Amino acid sequence: MHLHKNLDILFIVPHYPVKNGLIWKAIEYRFHSPGVLSLASYINAYNFKAAIFDCNLEQITENKFTENFDKRYADTSISYFGISSSTQTINQALRIANLLKKNRPEAKIILGGAHPSAMPENVLKNDSVDIVVIGEGEETLLKILKGDNLSNIRGIAYKENERIKITLPAERLKNLDLLPLNDYSLVPINLSKPLIGTYRKLPAAILVTSRGCLGTCTFCSRVLGHELHCMSPGRILEEIKTLYYHHNIRQIIFYDDTFISNKTRIEEFCTLLMQSGMKVFWTCSSRVDKVYPDTLAKMKKAGCHQIMYGVESFDENVLKNIDKKITKADIFYAITETKKAGIEARVSIMIGNPGDTELILKNNIKALKKLNPDIIQVTLTTPLPGSCMFTDAMKNNSLVTCDWDKYEGKDCIIPHESLSFDTMLRYYKKTYISFYLRPRFLFSQIFKINSLLRLQVLITGFFSMLPLLFKKN
């Protein structure tokens, strides 16, 4: 990592503390922020000096922030601080902003990322925040650093004479290949730690190769909007080459919302990766309605070993209510074909969507057992800022709390029309336990043990279930 005496901008990614309870305590993961890395690489390419202080990747908790910040940056002059935040870290991000404003009053503080993009006015109410960047940040931030008049910069919210002004939305970047390659030396990439069960080889890193999603799911916070822009297969390969040859990365976790939405792009990528001779394992996410057996076969050959599918529910009515635009038949087809191709299927399921009943939740468990994916991930429906569900709940005054620390799927945020929160929690545990602790699943896992890593996955997975069995929450 480079330490400079003068920085035009220091990006800060707050630490995301995994709270006690539910299943997350047992299965930790951490990665760099692809958005912040892209911003810093872009800004540096324009001859400004940007650095990243990624407290999440480095596991620097809030109470250790000042000590670590001073150690690195006490003698560095910094013109701008750029803090990236989700809803779950916004309270901490604002406390950090207050601290920096007090100690470095001459520096300007900019916030960006999922939460500030969804709630710019709310974030700007904090006295320490000078500017909020809404949505994709590269071009907007460059204009700020160049000193353009704020009123002429699209895609920001700022204060003028105590009043908050929001400019017109920024135009989206149409060609992601024009962005400079990510400069991975800006982050300690080797500290990345993937979720247990989602990798075959270490070290691992994440990569995002597209921006935006054409989907309209009501629970999803769409930071970069509905337009979908993708890097070309060649560009993806260039990113992987840097990770592979300069940072020794052997596992890539694609964090695109829907990596395989474009059949031609993905197939070309697979061909290029196979021709390159690099031996990398990789995983990605997809919608269930974008699955083709011939593409899956190519993906498997090129090193893909797991696909995460946003299933959410097996009930057609609930799927309609959340505007998922998929059917039960799509789900069964995608998971079956994925397994047939020799790729693991990881499935996400939600509890507490509009229309859910106890019977539906029971049927979801039955369907999961029948379909038998390799990994399931259960979440309690949480209306995240930036999602339609959140906007509707605001309009209807049905939010139980606006304490953002509670928006991590552990607390009741909107009352459900028929299920109590306790019932939802009960089904959360029941889904995990009845899926993972059934003999068929356990036996199949024992037979899959062909390496130390597999054994570790099984043991960690088993122990992560114990709190669900014995603890009240």
133 contact choice in ligand SF4, ligand B12, none (CB below 5 to 8 Å, kind-dependent): ligand B12
In sequence order, which ranges of 104-229 are alpha helices (DSSP H)?
Answer: 114-118, 120-124, 138-146
Q: Does 16 bind ligand B12 (CB under 6 A)?
A: yes
215 contact choice in ligand SF4, ligand B12, none (CB below 5 to 8 Å, kind-dependent): ligand SF4
- Tell me the site size for ligand SF4, rule CB under 6 A: 9
Residue 68 phi/psi, 5° resolution? -70, -35
Could you give the CA distance from residue 413 to residue 24 in angstroms, rounded to a whole number? 19
Q: Does 153 bind ligand B12 (CB under 6 A)?
A: no
Q: Does 183 bind ligand B12 (CB under 6 A)?
A: no
35 contact choice in ligand SF4, ligand B12, none (CB below 5 to 8 Å, kind-dependent): ligand B12
CB of 301 to ligand SF4, least distance (A): 26
Residue 227 tokens, joined: 């337009």
114 contact choice in ligand B12, ligand SF4, none (CB below 5 to 8 Å, kind-dependent): ligand B12
CB of 310 to ligand SF4, least distance (A): 5
Residue 1 tokens, joined: 């990592």
Provide the β-strand partners of residue 78: 7
User: Exactly one of 36, 78, 368, 425 binds ligand B12 (CB under 6 A); which one?
Assistant: 36
What strands, in cross-sheet order, belong to the sheet with 108-112? 50-54, 6-13, 77-84, 108-112, 131-133, 156-160, 163-166
Q: Does 220 bind ligand SF4 (CB under 6 A)?
A: yes
H or E segment to which residue 185 belongs: none
Residue 114 or residue 131: which is nearer to ligand SF4 going by CB? 114
CB of 50 to ligand B12, least distance (A): 10
Residue 162 tokens, joined: 């105590």
Cα angle, residue 136 at apex, residues 133 and 142 outer, rounded to 5°: 65
Among positions 205-234, residues that touch ligand B12 (CB under 6 A) are 206, 208, 211, 220-221, 223-224
Choose the stretch contacting ligand SF4; rule: CB under 6 A; options: 36-44, 127-135, 190-198, 216-224: 216-224
Provide the β-strand partners of residue 310: 348
Q: How far is CA 306 from CA 140, 150, 281, 303, 309, in A?
A: 36, 45, 9, 9, 10
Instruction: Give the interface with ligand B12 as residue ranges (CB under 6 A).
Output: 13, 16, 31, 33-36, 38-39, 56, 82-84, 86-89, 110, 112-115, 117-118, 133, 136-138, 141, 206, 208, 211, 220-221, 223-224, 255, 257, 384-386, 408-409
